[in-house]
Amino acid sequence: MTATEVVMRRNPVRRRDPLTAFGQGPAATLGQRRVHLHWANLFGVVSFACLLVLAATGVVLMFTYVPSGDLVTYDGPHEPLAGARVSKAFDSTMEISFEQAGGMLIRQTHHWAGLVLPAAMILQLLALFFTGGFRRPRRAGWVLLTLAFLTVLVAGWSGYALPDDMLSGTGLRIVEGVMLGIPVVGTWLASWTFGGRFPGEVVENLYPVHVVVTPALIAVLLLARARLAYVRGSARPAAAARSPHATLGMRLWPDAALRAAGLSAITAAVLVLLGATSTISPIGSYGPTAAGDVGAGSQPDWYMGFLDGALRLVPAGWEAEWFGWTWTFAVLVPLLVVGGYFLLVVVHPFVADWVTGDTVEHHVLDRPRNVPARTGLGVAGMVFYGVLWAAGGADILATAFGLTVESVITVLQVALVTGPPLSFEATRRICVGLRRRDREIARHGYATGRIVRLASGEYVEVRRPVPGPELARLEVPGGAPATRGEALRSRDPRPQRPARTSPDS
């Protein structure tokens, strides 16, 4: 906690850290605005570029794609499917891929952007979490970004279903099963989504969700977040907290905007390169969907793997008959666990403030090691998500390592329960150790390995003093003692022995 924050905590009237007031008031003109540079800003720019690429390529796809499950006979150039009965959706996606000039490039670039976007957003959320960038007054920004991420998952899933190939059909079949497993509303939900018996009119129903509803929602959420960020100003990285030069940040317009535009152009170029060189979703090889068939090794796009994994980790036979309904816990438990997980992620800033009694505005980002409990919690959350995700590919893991699927599932079930608490404690301890080492270096300088003998006969190691900007990074402003020993030492009234610095300095 900074000295300002200590004063504010004693007098819990919410007010701004005066250090952030530079050029950030609502009245500041665009030219006066400044932003702090942090490497994690990169993820926000990459997400923005992915959205632009998705919108541009998506609009081009709309010209040829036909959102219809009506059957036609395939008569395109892809020989293996000649004469097959396929849906118009599949047929038009084949036409985009094999007959339209540049169609395959556009489709694959669209799909690659859809894969990179959730990854960039997850990294953006993680960077915000570990640096405490979600704290007051940016709590609403965190909520908006998390909701935008969840909407992106729905957008990706609905897009994945549109080609109506064997892979997307398998995914949809699983979703139908999950919906039917929800008591009371499940049947209604499934018939509303699928418009009758599988596959029904699912392509027709998902199309507007994919091209209008989710893109509009993502845009609204991210614009609201951008507005909040504009009004509140950017938080300052820990290193810049006490460096007058870094405190200035960069002019939002035109400097930071031009940098972001350059990075967006690079991102778009990489996505096009991926689309041109790396096969993704080869629907010609998968073939059209068939309600009774499933391709071996079918996998969802990576960002939906955790849901699939949650379903696979439930022990077999979890079912009961209560109040005249069948309660399929094999479906309900994963839904509740995953829903609860994301609910906790969304409300985390509010829960954290409530638990710690924090009423202060924070404008300086933390170094993750300086907040061991939060960092431990973040790693525990990642391990939980990671285990669910790995379970989504349990069959692939079993094949790759020559194991039985059952043994992989058992290992992952144990990991799901024990992994988060163990990783929490291990991370917390590592952070405490790193913080102790930082303080040691800040207080006594870097070890040089040179031992000198003093006139008194005592041997001491020569220490190299820490340069100013580095010192600002290492010192924890007003942070609590990292260990019990440190707490005792800080209470010791005896003067500390001054650090011995290099004779050269």
Binding residues (CB under 6 A) for ligand HEM: these are 54-55, 58-59, 61-62, 65, 93, 96, 107, 110-111, 114, 117, 152, 155-156, 159-160, 162-163, 210-211, 215, 281
Query: At its nearest, how many Å lie between ligand HEM and the CB of residue 306?
Result: 16
Number of residues assigned to the chain: 505
Q: What share of the chain is helix, strand, coil (3-state, %, to 5)?
A: 65, 5, 30
Query: At its nearest, how many Å lie between ligand HEM and the CB of residue 17?
Result: 36
Numbers of helices and strands, H then E, in the chain = 19, 8
Beta carbon nearer to ligand HEM, 162 or 175: 162
Beta carbon nearer to ligand HEM, 54 or 128: 54
Query: At its nearest, how many Å lie between ligand HEM and the CB of residue 106?
Result: 8
Q: Residues 6 or more apart from 252 whose CB is under 8 A from it?
A: 30, 33, 34, 35
Beta carbon nearer to ligand HEM, 123 or 398: 123
Angstrom distance (rounded) from CA 1 to CA 238: 11
Q: Provide the residue type at 194 as one letter.
A: F
Residue 14: count other Cβ atoms within 10 Å of its Cβ.
10
Q: Residues 6 or more apart from 305 whose CB is under 8 A from it?
A: 299, 388, 389, 392, 393
Q: Are 146 and 125 in contact (CB under 8 A)?
A: yes
**What torsion do the CA atoms of 86, 87, 88, 89 make, to the nearest 10 degrees?**
-120
Q: Name the residue among 477, 468, 466, 478 with its Cα closest to residue 442.
A: 466
Beta carbon nearer to ligand HEM, 275 or 386: 275
Query: At its nearest, how many Å lie between ligand HEM and the CB of residue 220?
Result: 13
Query: At its nearest, how many Å lie between ligand HEM and the CB of residue 213?
Result: 10
Beta carbon nearer to ligand HEM, 20 or 168: 168
* Residue 410 C-alpha from the chain's centroid: 27
Beta carbon nearer to ligand HEM, 133 or 169: 169
Beta carbon nearer to ligand HEM, 210 or 374: 210
Angstrom distance (rounded) from CA 70 to CA 406: 40
Rounded (5°) CA angle 138-143-147: 145
Asked if the peptide bond before residue 368 counts as cis, ω within 30 degrees of 0, the response is no
Query: At its nearest, how many Å lie between ligand HEM and the CB of residue 147?
Result: 14
Query: At its nearest, how many Å lie between ligand HEM and the CB of residue 199?
Result: 15
Beta carbon nearer to ligand HEM, 103 or 378: 103
Query: At its nearest, how many Å lie between ligand HEM and the CB of residue 204?
Result: 13
